[in-house]
Amino acid sequence: MPRRLILLRHAQAESAPLGDFSIEADLARPLTPVGEAAALRCGVWLRKQDLAPDAILCSTARRTRQTLHNVMQAFPGSAATPDFSVDLYEAEAQTLLERLRRTPPAVRTLLLVGHNPGISLLASRLDSTAPELDEGFAPGSIAVFSVWDNSAPHHASGWQNSLPDGAILHTFTRP
């Protein structure tokens, strides 16, 4: 059975204060009411698809943390403890891929909550043949990948040897 990788772009966020282009202002941007509702819908959709995460990687930005909080409302009692990583904030696709590859092999369903353009570029790198990904990720978009182990006998199974070549887009949606 394949592993599952869920890429989620944070839901719609407020703009930074006018004229404040600092990293601090960007990190502090909260979700809009529309974004709050969209994140709740994402959680409900994931639950209906039986996609409860075993492990969670999330940027430290306020909007990603709020998105994750609302998504996880659909999974009361979840044992998955989020790993909030500053290196996921505005990360490039290669940085995200390297972080995913360090996931322990026991993890079967991994959720990554992050930002564009990194999330969109990572999705395209994981499955460059999926036309659904050509339009990029709007806020609150979800891409679910089936991730297959490398079957070569000299390779250990796990995320390290499965990404990026073992990933195939299963679903792309914006609930």
Strand partners, 165: none
pTM, entire model: 0.95
Q: Phi and psi at residue 87, in whole multiples of 5°?
A: -70, -10
Largest CA distance in the chain: 56
The CATH number assigned to the domain holding 152 equals: 3.40.50.1240
Range of the domain at 151: 3-173
What are the angstrom distances between the C-alpha of 93 and each of 58, 110, 115, 139, 166?
A: 14, 16, 10, 17, 16
Q: What pLDDT was estimated at residue 150?
A: 67
Residues 34-53 have pLDDT tens digits of 999 999 999 999 999 999 99
Domain total of the chain:
1
CA 58-7-64 angle, to 5 degrees, is: 35
Between strands 3-9 and 55-59, the pairing is unpaired
Q: What pLDDT was estimated at residue 154?
A: 47
What residues of the chain score a pLDDT lower than 50?
A: 154
Q: Phi and psi at residue 134, in whole multiples of 5°?
A: -65, -25
